Amino acid sequence: MKNYKLLPAVLLMTGLLTACGSANQVQASTETAPADVSVSETEEFIIPQNPDADPASDVDLTVLSSTMVYSQVADMMYTPEKYDGKIIKASGLFSVYHDDSQDKNYYAVLIQDATACCAQGIEFVWKGEHSYPEDYPEVGQEITVMGTFGTYEEDGATYTQLLDATLTVNS
């Protein structure tokens, strides 16, 4: 008979090493400024722009590492008021969700973390007149969007989105 005494410990360690983490951990890490940056209690701390960042954006997620981009997006979801009105640029996979109750499509760019176990979606509203599916990329295709960050309420919940977004299909 095989010895299964170590199985619970192995499963626990696997879970701890592969889990995505909690919102409190992500939020706490984004609220702490590096030692060489002076931030008063009334100022907000936002990750400094990368020199390779698109100058047309306030936050260019396309130049961040997969770990940093996922953390930045999590901060945008948990503290959207810090990003309201800012121009955001993001790359990821195109996704669409159809709400049958409202007969409405919602479009998003899905951004995965470094291990691709977790994903955050940022809804976007493409600037101009476009018809789905004719004008949109295929679901799962790599895209880049850039738009103005904002929030809206629907059915008692607050959602984030990029308004007046431009969309580019990555090759």
Give 83-118 as a DSSP string: TTT-EEEEEEEEEEEEETTTTEEEEEEEEE-TTSS-
State pTM to two decimals.
0.71
CB 26 within 8 A of CB 78: yes
- How far is it, in rounded angstroms, from Cα 124 to Cα 24? 26
pLDDT at residue 128 in the model: 97
pLDDT at residue 11 in the model: 43
Tokens of 149: 């960050």
The CA-to-CA distance between both ends of the chain, in Å, stands at: 55
- Of residues 67 and 97, the one with the higher pLDDT is 97
- Of residues 100 and 49, the one with the higher pLDDT is 100
Query: pLDDT class for 146, splitting at 50, 70, 90?
Result: very high
Tokens of 125: 């509203």
What value does the mean pLDDT take over residues 133-138?
97
| pLDDT over 70, % of the chain | 71
- Of residues 83 and 45, the one with the higher pLDDT is 83
Q: Is the pLDDT of residue 10 over 80?
A: no
Rounded to an integer, what is the distance from CA 136 to the centroid of its chain? 20
CA angle in degrees (0–180, nearest 5) for 143-146-151:
115
Query: pLDDT class for 47, splitting at 50, 70, 90?
Result: low
- Of residues 47 and 59, the one with the higher pLDDT is 59
Q: What is the pLDDT of residues 71-117, one digit of tens each?
A: 899 899 999 999 999 999 999 999 999 999 999 999 999 998 777 78
What value does the mean pLDDT take over residues 112-135?
91
Per the DSSP assignment, residues forming a β-bridge with 92 are 143
